[in-house]
Chain A
C-alpha cells in the first residue's frame, strides 16, 4: 500500500512525532512494509470468526465503588517541572477543541 508524503506527515503530526525531510523516504518504506503485512492478514477468510477485542478469553474484573486513594498532591507535584497553587503548569493552550 502506497503512502503519500502528506499522509505520512499527518500521521506523524497526530502522534506528535517530529519527522525531518531526510527520514521521510526510509520511514515511508518501513510503514508501507507494515501495512503490507496487514493487507496479507486481510486476505484471511474471517467470515466464520467473531471479532476479538482482546486475546485473553476472560471477562474484566471490577472493583467496588470505594474511595481508596488518599491525597498525594504534594508528592505527585514533585514530578512536574512547573507548578503553582497546586496546579501543574503547561505551555498556554487556547484551542479547546476536544
Chain B
C-alpha cells in the first residue's frame, strides 16, 4: 500500500465491547459459559417470553465501578437503563437494554505509551448493555439458525474520545484496556472468542483543519493486529477518495482480514433511529457510597502502579518494568521468581530472555511454562550465591525445561558446581599458560587483547565451571608476573 501524503491527519475513536466474566447473565440466571450446545443457556427472560421481567445482576455493578475507578472516571448515581429499539432475529425482545443518559461510568482517561512519550486519551463513557445472540447463516433450507446462548450476556461498552491519531496509538489504547480488564478480573479479554470486540470510528482531515471529516465505523475487527491494519487501510482509503475529489459517505464498514480491506455493509434506505427511551422495566439504580467504597477497597494493583513499584522497589528499568507489568500473569510470575531468587534484576533478565524465548518457540503462555516460577527462582539463586556460573545456568535451564528434576539435583548429580577454590583455579590457569607460551609472550610484549583469549581457554578447561570473577583476578596477576 502506498504511503499517504503528510498533509493529512486521522482522527480515531474506539468503541470497545467487553464481555463481563459473570457466572450468570445481565438480567437472568442463565449461565454465560462459552461453547455450550445451542440454546441450552437461554431461559425465558433471554427469549423474551411474554410476562418476564429483567432482574439486575449485582456483580456487573461491581465490575463497572472497578473499571470506572481504573479509568479515573466518575461513577454516576443514580445510573439508569434505556431501551434501544431495533429488529433483528438474534435479539428476541425487539430491543436491547442499554444505557443512554446516565451511563454508570463517565469522563475518564487513560495514559498510553507512544513513541513520542505518554499520551492521554479521554474515555467518554462506559455503559452496561446486553449482548445479542448469534445468527448462523449456514444452509438451513434457505433459513438462518438462531442460537440465543449469548443473548443477555453482560457487556461494558467503553467509548473513547476521538483523540487517537494513528493506528499504533489505537493498538496501544486497546492493549491498555485489555491489560486493565484482565487485571481487574472483569473479563478474560479473549478477542478470538469475542470477549473483547472493537469498532473503530475513523475520519481524516487536512492538518490544521478544525472541523472533523466525515467518519466511517469499521466493525468486525477481532485481533490487535487487525485493528491496526483495518484502521491503516481505512485512513489510506479515505485520503485516496478525498484526494481524488470524492466524498466520504458516513457508513458502517466491515473489515475483511483475508483481503486486508474494508467494505461497506448494505446501507439502509434511511439512517437507523433507535428511538431510545428510559427502560420502563428497570428502576434507576442508586449506588450507595458504602457499596462503591467496598468495591474500591477490593481494587487490585493496576498495571501502571505495578510498573512504578517494579521501578522503585526492584530497581528495574522503565522498559523492563512496563513489559513485565503489562500482563498480570507475567507480573505475578516475575514477583515469585524475584522472591525466591532474591535478585529482581537477574529474574527480569531471565524471564524476558531465556524463558520468553522458550515460551515463544513452543507458543506457550506464561501459565503454561514448563519451568515453575519457584524453580527458575532456585536456579537464579544458585547463580547469585556463586554455586554455578551463568553459563552453566543456561545448560541447567534447558534440562529443567525438558525434565521434572530439581535445580540442586541436577547441579549435584552432574557435578556442575562452580569452581571457587582459588587453588583449583590457579592450577587450571597454570596449565593454560603453560600450554600457550606464544600467546603469553605476545601478551607480555603489550598485546592486551589476548587477555580475552586466556579467559576463554581457562573457562573451556574448567568446562565453564570456574568462577569468572576469580578467573579474571587470578589470571591478571599470573600474566603480569
Chain A residues close to B by CB (< 8 Å): 10, 14, 16, 51, 53-54, 56, 58-69, 71-73, 76-77, 79, 82, 84-98
Given A88-B148, A95-B265, A98-B132, are A66 and B24 neighbors across the interface (CB < 8 Å)? yes
Given A56-B283, A59-B285, are A84 and B265 neighbors across the interface (CB < 8 Å)? no
Count residues on chain B whose CB falls below 8 Å from chain A CBs. Answer: 63
Cβ of B40 and Cβ of A69 under 8 Å apart? no
Q: B266-287: which have CB < 8 Å to A? A: 266-268, 270, 272-273, 275, 278, 280, 282-286
Cβ of B265 and Cβ of A62 under 8 Å apart? no
Fill in one digit per residue for B72-103: 1 if any A CB lies within 8 Å of its CB, else 0. 00000010100001111101000000000110
Q: In the complex, which residue of chain A has the Cβ closest to the Cβ of B24?
A: A67
A68 to B24, CA, bound (A): 8
Given A56-B283, A62-B56, are A69 and B30 neighbors across the interface (CB < 8 Å)? yes
Q: In the complex, which residue of chain A has the Cβ closest to the Cβ of B22?
A: A65
Extra contacts besides A69-B28, A96-B265 (18): CB < 8 Å: A53-B80, A60-B56, A60-B284, A60-B285, A61-B55, A62-B57, A63-B56, A68-B29, A69-B31, A84-B145, A86-B38, A86-B40, A87-B147, A89-B143, A89-B146, A90-B146, A92-B143, A98-B91
Partner of A97, one of B41, B59, B136, B268: B268
Q: B97-126: which have CB < 8 Å to A? A: 101-102
Residues in B with CB closer than 8 Å to A88 are 39, 89, 145-146, 148
Residues in B with CB closer than 8 Å to A69 are 24, 28-31, 41, 43
Partner of B144, one of A10, A66, A79, A90: A90
User: Can you report 24 A-B residue pairs in the complex whose CB atoms are below 8 A from each other?
Assistant: A14-B85, A14-B273, A53-B101, A53-B102, A54-B80, A58-B283, A59-B285, A61-B56, A65-B22, A67-B29, A67-B31, A68-B29, A84-B145, A86-B39, A88-B145, A88-B148, A89-B141, A89-B144, A91-B144, A92-B142, A97-B268, A98-B88, A98-B91, A98-B132
Q: How many A-B residue pairs have CB under 8 A?
A: 144
Partner of A65, one of B37, B58, B282: B58
A95 to B254, CA, bound (A): 12
Cβ of A59 and Cβ of B135 under 8 Å apart? no
Q: Is B137 an interface residue (CB 8 A)?
A: yes
Chain B residues close to A by CB (< 8 Å): 22-24, 28-31, 37-44, 47, 49, 55-59, 61, 78, 80, 85-89, 91, 101-102, 132, 135-137, 140-148, 252, 254, 265-268, 270, 272-273, 275, 278, 280, 282-286
Q: In the complex, which residue of chain A has the Cβ closest to the Cβ of B145?
A: A87
What DSSP secondary structure best describes chain A's contact surface? loop
Given A58-B283, A62-B56, A92-B144, are A53 and B266 neighbors across the interface (CB < 8 Å)? no
Q: In the complex, which residue of chain A has the Cβ closest to the Cβ of B33?
A: A67
Cβ of A93 and Cβ of B89 under 8 Å apart? yes
Cβ of A66 and Cβ of B29 under 8 Å apart? yes
Q: In the complex, which residue of chain B has the Cβ closest to the Cβ of A64?
A: B58
Cβ of A91 and Cβ of B58 under 8 Å apart? no
A66 to B61, CA, bound (A): 15
